Amino acid sequence: MFDQRPAYLAQKTIIIDKLVICRKDQEILRRLASQVARLAARPIENEKRDLWFRHNTLEATRPLIFCDPENGWNEIITDAQMQCQGELAREWEMTLRKETFWGESMGDDRVIEPYFEVPYVYSESDWGMKETKIGGQN
C-alpha cells in the first residue's frame, strides 16, 4: 500500500542506499516516462492548459472538470500492476502510472504536464546552535 497523501505533505527520510535504482527499474521508469511524455505532447493538453488559464483569470469558460481518486488510487493501480522492486523506484512508478491513467482513462480537464517533479532534499542541522533545555518536565 502506498502513501496516498499529496507529495508536498509527505515528509520522509530516505537512506542513501535506497536512492540507487537498478537497471531493470530504470527501464520500467523510462518506458512509463515515455508514455507520459507522449500524453503530455498531445495538442489537447495545451488546450486544457489554456482553458485553465482563462478560467483562473475569471474569463467565461465552460465548466472545468477535475476528477481525483484521492485515496482510491490503490484500487485503480494495484500492487499486481507494479513492476519496480526498489522503494524509490516504486514511488516514482506509482506517480508515472497515475499520470498515464489520468491521460488515458480519466477524461477530465487536468493537464498532463511534460515534466516530472523530484522533491527537494535537505538535512536538518542545528545551524551551529546547541539546544539547552532549562526547567520543565518535558
pLDDT tens across 106-119, in order? 999 999 999 998 87
In sequence order, what are the residues at sequence separation of 6 or more whose Cβ sits closer than 8 angstroms to the Cβ of residue 98? 73, 77
pLDDT tens across 37-94, in order? 999 999 999 999 999 999 999 999 999 999 999 999 999 999 999 999 998 899 999 9
- Residue 79 C-alpha cell reads as 500492487
pTM for this prediction: 0.76
One-letter amino acid at 13 equals: T
CA distance 61 to 69: 25
